[in-house]
């Protein structure tokens, strides 16, 4: 997700020293230290399919990820969610558990700027419904990336017996808005919700981070009950993400821990179930883009996130 978007008004980015990153990571996600050390040694996985930072910049607001339904949706007529709830395996360690995957941004958002720019209540204040998301310099969109990872996660979690629901599957013209994304997880009584994103920070900034809900009590928002379980979920996801992908925590936010707490995100503020956001990498950095555009690496990302969810749900 680009930090220019409505659901992101981040603190001033800061670079941290490599030594501090390693210490903080070891404290928070000790099980993943080996993956981080491998990253340091070999410079991270490089399985092809990437883009070059010198390529012409393509805006996510003008380049759709895939064909979607056109035509504006009247604001007075709610857009149906219509996303498929999975048929889980007959048995497995997650039988009876419900997981909601929230693929950030809809591939059709760029066609509906009026609708996604309308203000919605996020508890603490009002923000735009959604954004178009970001993209790599070569035009691979965040919306396409998040759906691909979400599909891979769904398959992995279904194999474990979980019931999986997506907040959107490119099955609606735009959205859902950030408040509806939270509502979908709440109404599903999800045991865990993960919102999948990719960042749009400056070139040279690298790595992933997991965003945790801060303690908020304002208007319709009250996150106090989910802060602790969401942190547990986020730490497990971060640990497995490092171990499986070999990627490093972000070097520009989170003080090298890979964890960031936020109070300004509607998708977290309005959630009543454990929920985190995962920014899998920075699409505007050529080295991260090479990973994000690789199908093999996306499978690793999906596996790492899914293993974190499994670990959280099994306790």
Active site residues: 279
Length of the chain: 315
Q: How far apart are CA 184 and CA 301, in angstroms?
A: 24
- Determine contact, residues 287/247, Cβ cutoff 8 Å: no
Hey, what are 199's tokens? 């960042």
Backbone dihedral angles phi then psi of residue 210, each to the nearest 5 degrees: -110, 130
Work out the widest C-alpha separation in the chain, in whole angstroms. Answer: 56
Number of Cβ atoms within 10 Å of the Cβ of 3: 16
Q: How far apart are CA 87 and CA 306, in angstroms?
A: 17
Q: How far apart are CA 135 and CA 285, in angstroms?
A: 10
Give residues with Cβ within 8 angstroms of 293, minimum separation 6: 49, 50, 51, 136, 138, 140
3-class SS of residue 145: helix
Q: How far apart are CA 277 and CA 113, in angstroms?
A: 23
Closest CA to 287 of 255, 247, 259: 247
CA-atom Rg of the chain in angstroms: 18
- Residue with tokens 């979980």, as numbered in its chain: 162
């Amino acid at each position: 997700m680009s930090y220019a978007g409505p659901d992101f008004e981040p603190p001033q980015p800061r670079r941290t020293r490599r030594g501090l990153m390693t210490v903080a990571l070891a404290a928070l996600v000790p099980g993943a230290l080996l993956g981080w050390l491998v990253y340091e040694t070999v410079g991270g996985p490089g399985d092809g399919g990437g883009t070059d930072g010198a390529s012409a910049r393509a805006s996510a607001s003008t380049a759709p990820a895939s064909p979607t339904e056109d035509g504006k949706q009247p604001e007075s007529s709610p857009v149906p969610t219509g996303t498929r709830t999975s048929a889980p395996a007959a048995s497995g360690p997650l039988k009876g558990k419900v997981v909601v995957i929230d693929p950030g941004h809809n591939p059709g958002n760029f066609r509906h700027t009026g609708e996604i720019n309308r203000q919605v209540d996020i508890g603490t204040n009002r923000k735009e419904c959604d954004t178009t998301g970001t993209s790599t310099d070569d035009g691979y969109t965040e919306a396409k990336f998040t759906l691909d990872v979400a599909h891979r996660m769904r398959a992995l979690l279904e194999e474990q017996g979980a019931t999986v629901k997506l907040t959107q599957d490119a099955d609606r013209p735009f959205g859902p808005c950030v408040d509806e994304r939270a509502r979908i997880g709440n109404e599903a009584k999800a045991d865990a919700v993960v919102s999948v994103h990719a960042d749009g920070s400056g070139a040279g900034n690298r790595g992933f981070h997991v965003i945790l809900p801060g303690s908020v009590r304002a208007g319709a928002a009250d996150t106090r009950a989910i802060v602790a379980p969401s942190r547990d979920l986020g730490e497990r996801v971060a640990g497995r993400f490092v171990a499986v992908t070999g990627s490093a925590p972000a070097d520009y936010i989170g003080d090298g821990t890979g964890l960031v707490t936020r109070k300004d995100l509607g998708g977290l503020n309005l959630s009543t179930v454990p929920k985190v956001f995962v920014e899998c990498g920075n699409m505007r950095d050529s080295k991260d883009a090479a990973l994000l555009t690789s199908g093999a690496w996306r499978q690793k990302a999906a596996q790492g996130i899914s293993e974190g969810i499994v670990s959280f749900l099994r306790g």
